[in-house]
């Protein structure tokens, strides 16, 4: 078996290449690497060391659409700030179930904190930070504020209950 070290490329189909390039450059903050005009494709570097690539391929006006999911590793402070920053850019921040949110969602089995959102073609994207805590699969998927309360030195169970009701 060959040990996989990292993901190098992800490619998405898009209906409007220029609009998608602007979205991934201006909203997601990726660095444009190259445009292949004849092939109607654009490529972005992900990360400072150019270790990963996002490719966007124009599909035209076909009625068939496939939506995909991609998550971008960011710092935990960036995940926590993402709902406010996305909303300021006119993008709806979403929780794991696709509902509007003002906080990150924690997938406790990993654990990782994520804020989800959609690109102009409906692809589900996420800003994600893997947390240093031990995995807690029994917690399921919880809002960030609840995760914080559950990981405080002495949990305030009344506050945990209030976080659940939000």
Asked if residue 112 and residue 78 are part of one domain, the reply reads yes
State pLDDT tens for residues 100-131: 999 999 999 999 999 999 999 999 999 999 99
Q: Round to whole Å and give the CA distance between 135 and 64.
A: 39
DSSP state of 138: G
Residue 147, domain member (yes or no): yes
Asked if residue 156 and residue 88 are part of one domain, the reply reads yes
The CA-atom distances, in angstroms, between 26 and each of 32, 87, 110, 139, 166 are 10, 14, 29, 35, 31
Domain boundary residue, one of 59, 77, 95:
59
DSSP 3-state assignment of 159?
Answer: helix
Give me the CATH number covering residue 74. Answer: 3.10.180
Q: Round to whole Å and give the CA distance between 11 and 56.
A: 6
Asked if residue 93 and residue 40 are part of one domain, the reply reads no
Asked if the model's pLDDT at residue 2 lies above 60, the reply is no
| pTM for this model (two decimals) | 0.81
Q: Contact 132/96 with Cβ under 8 angstroms? A: no
* The predicted structure's pLDDT at residue 150: 87
Beta-carbon neighbour count of residue 46 at 10 Å?
A: 22
Q: Round to whole Å and give the CA distance between 14 and 24.
A: 12
Give me the CATH number covering residue 46. Answer: 3.10.180.10
Asked if residue 160 and residue 81 are part of one domain, the reply reads yes
Asked if residue 137 and residue 74 are part of one domain, the reply reads yes
Confidence bin at 39 (pLDDT 50/70/90)? confident
Which residue segment(s) compose the domain that 12 sits in? Answer: 1-59
Report the number of distinct structural domains present in the chain: 2
Asked if residue 99 and residue 29 are part of one domain, the reply reads no
């Amino acid at each position: 078996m060959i040990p996989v070290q990292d993901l190098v490329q992800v490619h998405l189909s898009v209906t409007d290449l220029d609009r998608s390039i602007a979205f991934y450059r201006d909203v997601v903050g990726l660095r444009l690497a190259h445009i292949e005009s004849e092939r109607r494709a654009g490529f972005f570097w992900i990360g400072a060391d150019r270790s990963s690539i996002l490719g966007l391929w124009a599909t035209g006006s076909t009625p068939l659409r496939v939506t995909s999911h991609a998550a971008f590793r960011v710092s935990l402070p960036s995940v926590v700030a993402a709902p406010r920053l996305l909303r300021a850019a006119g993008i709806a921040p979403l929780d794991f179930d696709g509902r509007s949110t003002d906080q990150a969602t924690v997938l406790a089995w990993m654990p990782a904190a994520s804020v989800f959102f959609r690109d102009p073609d409906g692809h589900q994207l996420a800003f994600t930070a893997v947390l240093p805590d031990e995995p807690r699969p029994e917690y399921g998927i919880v809002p960030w504020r609840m995760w914080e309360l559950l990981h405080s030195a002495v949990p305030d169970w009344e506050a945990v209950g209030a976080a659940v009701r939000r």
